[in-house]
Structure 1
């Protein structure tokens, strides 16, 4: 009997110990899980604020965070502390400091280009890259409210910059890239340092509520040592007049190729032209081709071939668009007038157009007005075709006419070329264009031989194909 009781008690102890061990293990696992979750939260990378249309409708109070990326932490940002920038683990004030500042965010979502610009900038140069996130303040349907916040953002940025200067940074090594409203924010920061910032790039600076403002209330060429601006939507959301040391106007600065032409295309109709400036800048970082631009007084003069002599700008040649535009600043005379540069692009990345100058002398007694379409073929059989110019050329007896024509693809060794003359009229007699001399010059590769043809006739709407010959001498 006693032996049975002892066995029963022993079994109870075993069960109790097993029960306690099980719950202790559960408790330990639970404690480990809590610490693991807490540790994971601590290590979680700070991210750009992601809001939605609901936040835009209700409005957001201004909050600014600076997210630092370097080649040491390219995939996980470090949030800089406003009161103690020196505590940063990754900020190296001996290197260039690049700020990227976004603009108005009516839907609250992070900019679509944010990941690309981060990756491309860090791969291009060993820099401190700071994404300025003021999405809380920019996310609102009230554009006026976002504009009012621009000055406040600039004041906050000045606080960070002041601390960086104390810790060894120089103003000359600072570069601000501002998109839309962000361009004006960069300008306001530059004003606070009397234009001693190294560089500001304005990507289609916002036009509404800024167009009539004096220089001190918007981005201006005096806000940094070098200010380059890309204007891609001057007839709607962008700023039309020159704002920088050099102002670039792709496709004249208004309608961009590939962008919707009607409101039936939805939101893209409103933002495509405006955003094109950003994608042109991103393309310059990829270095698949240089987008060459041409200093000129107007887009009309550029299309007339009056401003395509890059040899006049030697040794630096014509300026290129985007990240490497500052290489051209060595040619600029201090306090000189702003430079406007025009160029055409294709409708998609990498956007490069390969330009040729067609120089024609005709000998018709009567004046002819019309268009000339050019087709080029290389020895491999590849063919490229130009688009007709939007403006007709005027051909007069013994007068040289320069026509700028562009192609989406570059052909090196041309075996044949075709010309088509058209007046675009559907009624009346067909005209002839009697050509005394034709000369074709590559603008992207001016070292190539120029191609000539002499004494031929173009029948209207009839393609004439021939083998060009090398010109005996350069065009004057």
Structure 2
């Protein structure tokens, strides 16, 4: 499909938006809309991108933008490419994301030229096909600050080269959450600087076997939204190469130093923390952030001393408040 058929739109939301429900439309062909808007170049810009079969009014998208604006004064822009994502033929939608990725890159260049916005202040959050769409945007426009992949799509992207999918070279920092990565709709291979596999990256607690889209759509979106709202819960991940090693408590530090358990989610943005592949527990219902008791056995095995209080140092976030 061509750009005129996909009808991609960009809608701005800020704390000062005159219409907090419908937002403020922005168009590269109408500079007046931008200059009359509440967009501020000195604020972080978070861009939310939906996936296949979705649209900008999906509940998770609206809940995420509300959560972000509740926590901070940011520019939140929602990308709608519904006409290109609504293809019954998934493979056609796969082709369409290159077009929309180019459109988004052009839109960001427009914002930069008109307002002085820095691409390093941009955070793209993409779900499913939207994650790879964000990757293409980063390929067209180097220097984007961050891309977060919410269960990036697997079919057509698994085991492909980095130019064909989202890759850690597409932004200054790329983090990925994998929730449906075993024979599911999500990609299983690591694609970012930091890849998180909650509950092993598949079969999320609270999702029944017959709920086809739950692991891919509902679970990871709810985890990410909770990570925005509940900063006291770090969704701390454990550096681990396999689900089996994680379950057996045999994962641990590889450099002989302290265990580094970086956050999964919105606040996973400190490059000084460990990079690589991380596994973590979640609960089956809200709040999903796993309680400390879920990690007790894990930390005892690592430290070899069940009486050492330090085994709980990073098991929850209370020590870091």
Partner of 1:277: 220
Mapped pair 1:402 → 2:301 = yes
Q: Distance in 1 between the 2:242 and 2:29 partners?
A: 48
| Mapped contact 1:229–1:247 kept (Cα < 8 A) | yes
What do the CA deviations read for 1:15-40 (whole angstroms, capped 9, x no partner)?
xxxxxxxxxxxxxxxxxxxxxxxxxx
Instruction: Mark the CA change 1:117 to 1:286 in structure 2 (over 3 Å): closer, same or farther.
Output: same
Aligned length: 302
Mapped pair 1:169 → 2:117 = yes
Q: What's the offset of the Cα at 1:308?
A: 4.7
Q: What's the offset of the Cα at 1:359?
A: 8.4
Q: What's the offset of the Cα at 1:254?
A: 1.2
Q: Distance in 2 between the 1:351 and 1:286 partners?
A: 12
Root-mean-square deviation (CA), in Å?
Answer: 2.9
Q: What 5-or-longer segments of structure 2 have no aligned partner? A: 316-321
Partner of 1:152: 99
| Mapped contact 1:311–1:317 kept (Cα < 8 A) | no
Q: What's the offset of the Cα at 1:349?
A: 1.7
* Structure with bigger gyration radius: 1
TM-score (structure 1 length as normaliser): 0.59
| Mapped contact 2:238–2:260 kept (Cα < 8 A) | no
2:187 aligned residue (211, 226, 239): 239
Q: What 5-or-longer segments of structure 1 have no aligned partner? A: 1-59, 264-268, 333-337, 361-400, 405-436, 449-476
Q: Distance in 2 between the 1:359 and 1:119 partners?
A: 35
Partner of 2:318: none
Aligned positions of 1:60-459 closer than 5 A: 61-73=5-17, 74-85=20-31, 87-88=33-34, 89-105=37-53, 110-166=57-113, 167-194=115-142, 196-235=143-182, 236-261=184-209, 263=210, 269-275=211-217, 276-287=219-230, 289-308=233-252, 317-327=260-270, 329-331=271-273, 339-353=276-290, 354=292, 355-358=294-297, 402=301, 439=306, 445-446=312-313
Instruction: Mark the CA change 1:290 to 1:310 in structure 2 (over 3 Å): closer, same or farther.
Output: farther
Which is bigger in relative contact order (C-alpha 8 A, separation at least 6)? 2
Partner of 1:467: none
Instruction: Mark the CA change 1:104 to 1:447 in structure 2 (over 3 Å): closer, same or farther.
Output: closer
Q: Distance in 2 between the 1:322 and 1:173 partners?
A: 17
What do the CA deviations read for 1:416-456 (whole angstroms, capped 9, x no partner)?
xxxxxxxxxxxxxxxxxxxxx982666784299xxxxxxxx
Q: Distance in 2 between the 1:178 and 1:110 partners?
A: 15
| Mapped contact 2:56–2:80 kept (Cα < 8 A) | no
Q: Distance in 2 between the 1:228 and 1:320 partners?
A: 10
What do the CA deviations read for 1:140-166 (whole angstroms, capped 9, x no partner)?
211112111100101111221111111
